[in-house]
Structure 1
Amino acid sequence: MKILQTIPEFGALSGGTSTSTYDLLSTMNLVGYPIDLLTLQPKNPLDHLMGNGEEWIKAFPNDSLSPFRYSQNIRQFLLHKDYDLYHTNGLWLYCNHETCSIARKKKSPYLITPHGMLYPAAVKRSYWKKWPLLQLFFYTDIVNADCFHATCRQEMEHIRNFGYAGPIAIIPNPTVFPDFLDEIAQQKVAIMSQKRVNRFGFLGRLHPVKKIENLLYAIASLPDKHDCELIIMGKGDPDYEQFLRNEVTRLRLMNVTFRGFVSGREKYEELVRLSGLFVPSDFENFGMIVTEALSVGTPVMASLGTPWEDLNTYKCGWWVDRDPDSIAHVMEQIIHMPAEQLLEMGLRGRHLVMEKFAASQVARQMYELYEWLGANASKPKFVYE
């Protein structure tokens, strides 16, 4: 069965959607589930294409026009190459619509992974742009999809509430463990046995929906705020970053560091040094950074706007409200928690990630879904109708 995934952007600076797509497809191709990916080269000269030039990545020169990102290169490839099944990542852009439209014309099944784009808060953002696109293209694309892929039950509920009545597969994003992961994770014990430094962290795109300012307000309210640090890692909206820096100055916080964009081994080395990673977003579809932090034994606080109830269930973090008081309460718990207890939380988090989110397991589930959609297998248990 010939399968094509499509994604409008596949640059290293595009964020979690590109990363999770690459991790899934590289694993599938590695273990013998061949999948092609259609995309465009990044327009940003500071960006670069994900991967290492793999043959399965069909990346064409970026000829996209208008905010809708119409691309003749995308259209010509889809028109002249035939696949048995089509799978698009995201919504609202030409690449996504044309994938669905061409699949219908060729009478091939197609599925959509919205990557959180049908969460109510995400739909409301720039709705004046999305409404006409819905009327022209995307309502038809959505209701006629053969299947949707959600990364968690919460996202499935939002897809249903949007009006899609067909089958929905719940498959988490994959976690790829780098070769050096065990070596870095072993540093956790040594770090915790040294003089205690309560180091809190944020890692991700700097954007107002991430509510990073709530971390600043939380630290400012701590009676022992001078005994802890906040490391903010990532780049994004320049105006929002300046707002955060201004708040640091206004609150007279001397223990906040803006580390900028980190990746690769450096990212994991930063994560293992944290006492806790904080994800205070308004909403978050999955949050690859959660599994990455857990994989090196760092407990995580994630807001109720994220699908991370597992943090409470498996006792490897905190799934709580994102307001500054709730965040400050978690910080206080970490500050006063014995090192042995934090290490135990981290160990439970590592076990959760290894057992539930390993890339090889996720790849196998995705291929089971493809086989079912191609009428070659029975319906998987993770598909809900």
Structure 2
Amino acid sequence: MRILQTIAGLGTHSGGTSSCTYDLLVAMHRMDCDVNLMTLQTTDLIGCGELWIKALPNDSISPYGYSRNINRYLCQSDYDLYHTNGMWMHCNHETCFAARKKGKPYVITPHGMLYPKALKRSYWKKWSLIQLFFNKDIQGAACLHATCKQEMDNIRLFGYQGPVAIISNPADIPMYAGSLFDKKIKAFLECHHPKKFGFLGRLHPIKKVENLLYGMSLLNEDQKAELVIIGKGDDKYEQFLRLEVERLGLKNISFVGFIDGKAKYELLASFSALFVPSDFENFGMIITEALSVGTPVMASLGTPWEELNIHHCGWWKDGTPEEIAQVMSDILNMPLEKLINMGENGMNLVASNYASDKVALKMTKLYKWIVNDGEKPEFVFFPNK
């Protein structure tokens, strides 16, 4: 069984879609799965030159990303199943079109792009693409892949009535996660109580980072804490945030830019908690990254992370400044033993439910079901069943 996954961009600055796609395929190759990944070459291409990454010369033109090299590769390809990551790009449509032309099944992972709030952004452009290509692409898929039940519900709302597989994004737990947690505990004990909060992600208005600033401004004078903002993105939005820091008179806010690799995990491990106040997140790779090194997370109700409450490893609440300030205050007044216990709970949750090998096994089962018409996996759902 030969599989081709495709993605428009696989750069380190492309966001969570690129990193989770790469992590999944790395795990699948550890299981000896015959799966390739087609994309266009970039200067910051993720990976270590793996032969299964088919990075084509980048001849992309227009915001739609039209590429003759993609057309040529897909036309000449011979796979048993095609699987595209994302929506609205030439790479995604051409993958579906090529699969139909060859009479082969295909899977689409929208990565949250069919959520109503996501559809509303630049809707007039997406509406045209839906009418021209993507409605047919979606309705003709052998299966759509959702990363959580909330995403499946929005896929149904869009109108897709075929099978949906709920498979979470993989958490590529670093080998040094345990040692970072031990270092965290030691540091916390030495300073008696941690006083550092964090944000990690693309700087964009939908992320609502300003609510963290407003939450910090609501803390009492005796509840001084540091807020570290990791990430780059919309320059105008970052400038707005910096001006808000000045207007609010906050002295303990730092913008550290884009950080990746071990340095990112070390910084995540140093936080008392990570805050995700976004309007919505489809899955939120940053949440499993933080949990994997023992850092509790507060995520807004716009994320599918009720598990934070269920497993006592964080807070799933409204992302308002008032709620954020309350959580920050609770953390600052919390016994250190309880905060450490929450960190342990988060590490256990990621290891048991989101480890990349478990996610890769589910994806392999999905492919076998589609290609070989075997027994339906328990994580595949039809409407009203």
Tell me whether the two structures share a fold, i.e. TM-score over 0.5.
yes
CA deviation string 1:274-320 (max 9, x = no partner): 00000000000111110111111110000000010000010110000
Shift in Å, 1:377: 2.5
Structure 2 CA distance, aligned partners of 1:218 and 1:165?
A: 42
Structure 2 CA distance, aligned partners of 1:293 and 1:382?
A: 26
1:32 maps to 32
Equivalent residues in 2 for 1:6-45, closer than 5 Å:
6-42=6-42
Structure 2 CA distance, aligned partners of 1:51 and 1:182?
A: 24
Question: Structure 1: where are the runs of 5+ without partners?
Answer: none
Structure 2 CA distance, aligned partners of 1:320 and 1:87?
A: 34
1:312 maps to 309
Structure 2 CA distance, aligned partners of 1:366 and 1:224?
A: 50
Between 75-84 and 173-182, the greater mean CA deviation after superposition: 173-182
Q: Does 1:181 align with 2:183?
A: no
- Give the conservation status (yes or no) of the 8 Å contact 2:24–2:359: yes
Q: Does 1:193 align with 2:189?
A: yes
- Give the conservation status (yes or no) of the 8 Å contact 1:299–1:316: yes
Structure 2 CA distance, aligned partners of 1:84 and 1:33?
A: 13
CA deviation string 1:206-230 (max 9, x = no partner): 1111000000000001113762010
Distance 1:59 1:214, change over 3 A: same
Structure 2 CA distance, aligned partners of 1:114 and 1:194?
A: 45
Question: Secondary structure of the equivalent of 2:298?
Answer: strand
Structure 2 CA distance, aligned partners of 1:26 and 1:287?
A: 19
Equivalent residues in 2 for 1:128-147, closer than 5 Å:
128-147=124-143
Structure 1 CA distance, aligned partners of 2:344 and 2:194?
A: 19
Structure 2 CA distance, aligned partners of 1:376 and 1:55?
A: 29
Question: Secondary structure of the equivalent of 2:245?
Answer: helix
2:117 maps to 121
Shift in Å, 1:61: 1.2
Question: Secondary structure of the equivalent of 2:38?
Answer: strand
Question: Secondary structure of the equivalent of 1:177?
Answer: coil
User: Out of 246, 249, 265, which is 2:243 matched to?
Assistant: 246
Q: Does 1:74 align with 2:70?
A: yes
The size of the alignment, in residue pairs, is 381
Q: Does 1:204 align with 2:181?
A: no
CA deviation string 1:329-352 (max 9, x = no partner): 111110110100000111111110
Question: Secondary structure of the equivalent of 2:299?
Answer: strand
- The aligned amino acid for 1:192 is F
Shift in Å, 1:144: 1.0
CA deviation string 1:65-86 (max 9, x = no partner): 1111110000000001111100
Shift in Å, 1:169: 0.2
- Give the conservation status (yes or no) of the 8 Å contact 1:295–1:353: yes
Task: Please tell me the root mean square deviation across aligned C-alpha atoms, in Å.
Answer: 0.9
Q: Does 1:230 align with 2:249?
A: no
Structure 1 CA distance, aligned partners of 2:314 and 2:24?
A: 26
- Name segments (4+ residues, structure 1) moved above 3 Å: none
Shift in Å, 1:376: 4.8
- The aligned amino acid for 2:51 is E
Q: Does 1:325 align with 2:325?
A: no
Question: Secondary structure of the equivalent of 1:6?
Answer: strand
User: Out of 195, 199, 217, which is 2:214 matched to?
Assistant: 217
Structure 1 CA distance, aligned partners of 2:253 and 2:206?
A: 20
- Give the conservation status (yes or no) of the 8 Å contact 2:311–2:345: yes
Structure 2 CA distance, aligned partners of 1:246 and 1:225?
A: 24
- The aligned amino acid for 2:38 is L
- Give the conservation status (yes or no) of the 8 Å contact 1:368–1:377: no
Between 207-216 and 28-37, the greater mean CA deviation after superposition: 28-37
When the two structures are superposed, what TM-score results if normalisation uses the length of structure 2?
Answer: 0.98
2:275 maps to 278
Q: Does 1:164 align with 2:160?
A: yes
CA deviation string 1:107-165 (max 9, x = no partner): 10001000010111100000011011111000100111110000000000000000000
2:61 maps to 65
Question: Secondary structure of the equivalent of 1:185?
Answer: helix
Structure 1 CA distance, aligned partners of 2:278 and 2:334?
A: 25
CA deviation string 1:184-223 (max 9, x = no partner): 1211210220222311100011111100000000000111
Shift in Å, 1:379: 0.5
Structure 2 CA distance, aligned partners of 1:61 and 1:324?
A: 46
- The aligned amino acid for 2:7 is I
Shift in Å, 1:236: 0.7
CA deviation string 1:92-115 (max 9, x = no partner): 010000000111111100010000
- Give the conservation status (yes or no) of the 8 Å contact 1:197–1:227: no
Structure 2 CA distance, aligned partners of 1:296 and 1:242?
A: 31
- The aligned amino acid for 2:35 is I
User: Out of 291, 296, 300, which is 2:297 matched to?
Assistant: 300
1:51 maps to 47
When the two structures are superposed, what TM-score results if normalisation uses the length of structure 1?
Answer: 0.98
Question: Structure 2: where are the runs of 5+ without partners?
Answer: none
Equivalent residues in 2 for 1:254-265, closer than 5 Å:
254-265=251-262
- Give the conservation status (yes or no) of the 8 Å contact 2:223–2:332: no
- The aligned amino acid for 2:124 is W
Question: Secondary structure of the equivalent of 2:82?
Answer: strand
Percent identity, aligned pairs only, is 58
- The aligned amino acid for 1:115 is H
Structure 2 CA distance, aligned partners of 1:341 and 1:209?
A: 32
- The aligned amino acid for 1:372 is W
